[in-house]
Amino acid sequence: MNQTPEKALVVLSGGQDSTTCLYWALQTFGHGNVETVTFDYGQRHRVELDCARKIAALAGVRQTVLPIDTFAAIGGNALTDADIAPEDGARDDDALPNTFVPGRNLIFLTFAAALAYTRGARHLVAGVAQTDYSGYPDCRENTLKALEVALRLGMDSRVELHAPLMYLSKAETVSLAQQVGAMDALSWSHTCYNGQVPPCGHCASCELRAKGFAEAGVPDPLIVRCQTPRED
């Protein structure tokens, strides 16, 4: 007796990690069973919205863009407040970086679960990780496990949260991207907190991405694309 294929919804920001997770989901659940959701939350690096559209189109998957303007109204962080500049490099203390948007992943995954519910998708996939990350508490496994329980209870569902990168270093994430065929799509991904293309190279996100590709011994497809002369 044939079982109904399991469907998955990927939270696609347009960045390196979520792009890798999209291709992981395509390999895991099958091409016809995956779609994506992208959040427009007033982020400084709005170029990632265009990147997410491009990547979803390349992957041949449906994309839904949901607007959330509450974070911009709250402000107080470098990603949604124009008066606060992202910090350069990684911090050397235990304080959270000013790019931390309080509650962002909790809200994103809750809205994603609601959308997945309407789509008949039981699986949610997110590119969060607590290894080689910026210290965000909503990227930790215990946070996701607690949220998964809350979503199951609150929606009377069997929703399952997947975080394929949870314990991978950035170099290991690059290796996974190679394995699942995400490298071409990564040439259109965006990570720079300053929203620059080519990336600024000095914000914490740029440094972390560059470190991962360097340690993996693989050229960053985005940098290669940006450095390749265009033919008119």
Residue list, annotated binding site: 12-22, 192, 200, 203, 206
Going by the annotation, the residues of the binding site for ATP are 12-22
CA nearest 126: which of 10, 8, 6, 7? 10
**What is the side-by-side strand order in the sheet with 160-162?**
62-67, 34-40, 8-11, 123-125, 160-162
Going by the annotation, the residues of the binding site for Zn(2+) are 192, 200, 203, 206
Q: By the 8 A CB rule, do 91 and 97 touch?
A: yes
CA distances to 25, 83, 137, 197 from 124, rounded to whole Å, are 10, 34, 19, 29
Beta-sheet pairing, 123-125 with 160-162: parallel
Please tell me whether residue 81 adopts helix, strand or coil conformation.
coil
Q: By the 8 A CB rule, do 126 and 163 touch?
A: yes
Give the chain's radius of gyration (CA, Å): 17
DSSP 39: E
Beta-sheet pairing, 123-125 with 62-67: unpaired
